[in-house]
């Protein structure tokens, strides 16, 4: 994983935990009423995010860019793992709302 000195610690932690098996630490990164969008589907609230996470294959993230945006921060990655079509380049993680402790809105898109 490559980030910059200006990448918020919460986002760095997200990518550290995203490849691991500690689902509870991963889910704890999200606010109670957080929203995750992945593959065109939305998951609202911790229970829905936990259920989504349980169905997501573990992947390795290679970060290719980190860019501040008007809506937060966008991290572009190549992901690789045990899933059809691996690796996938250019996957964008749009952290639209977050603070030092929790992610409020995350949209994952190509």
Structural domains of the chain, ranges and CATH numbers in brackets: 9-109 (3.10.450.50)
Q: What is the end-to-end Cα distance of the chain in Å, rounded?
A: 19
For residue 21, what are its two tokens?
């098996």
The pLDDT of residue 6 is 72
What is the mean pLDDT, run by run of 10 residues, along the chain of 110 residues?
Answer: 70 94 95 97 98 91 94 95 93 96 96
CA atoms within 13 A on the CB side of 38: 14
Rg of the chain over all Cα atoms, to the nearest angstrom:
13
The pLDDT of residue 5 is 60
Phi-psi bin for 12: left (phi > 0), alpha (psi -120 to 50), beta?
Answer: alpha
The pLDDT of residue 58 is 87
Full-model pTM = 0.91
In degrees rounded to 5, what are phi and psi of residue 52?
-60, -50
The pLDDT of residue 1 is 46
């Amino acid at each position: 994983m490559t980030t910059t000195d200006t990448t918020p610690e919460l986002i760095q932690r997200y990518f550290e935990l995203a490849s691991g098996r500690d689902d509870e630490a991963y889910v704890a990164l999200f606010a109670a009423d957080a929203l995750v969008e992945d593959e065109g589907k939305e998951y609202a609230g911790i229970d829905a995010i936990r259920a989504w996470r349980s169905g997501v294959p573990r992947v390795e993230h290679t970060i290719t860019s980190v860019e501040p945006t008007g809506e937060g921060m966008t991290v572009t990655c190549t992901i690789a793992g045990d899933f059809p079509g691996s690796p996938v380049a250019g996957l964008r993680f749009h952290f639209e709302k977050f603070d030092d402790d929790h992610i409020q809105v995350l949209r994952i898109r190509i």
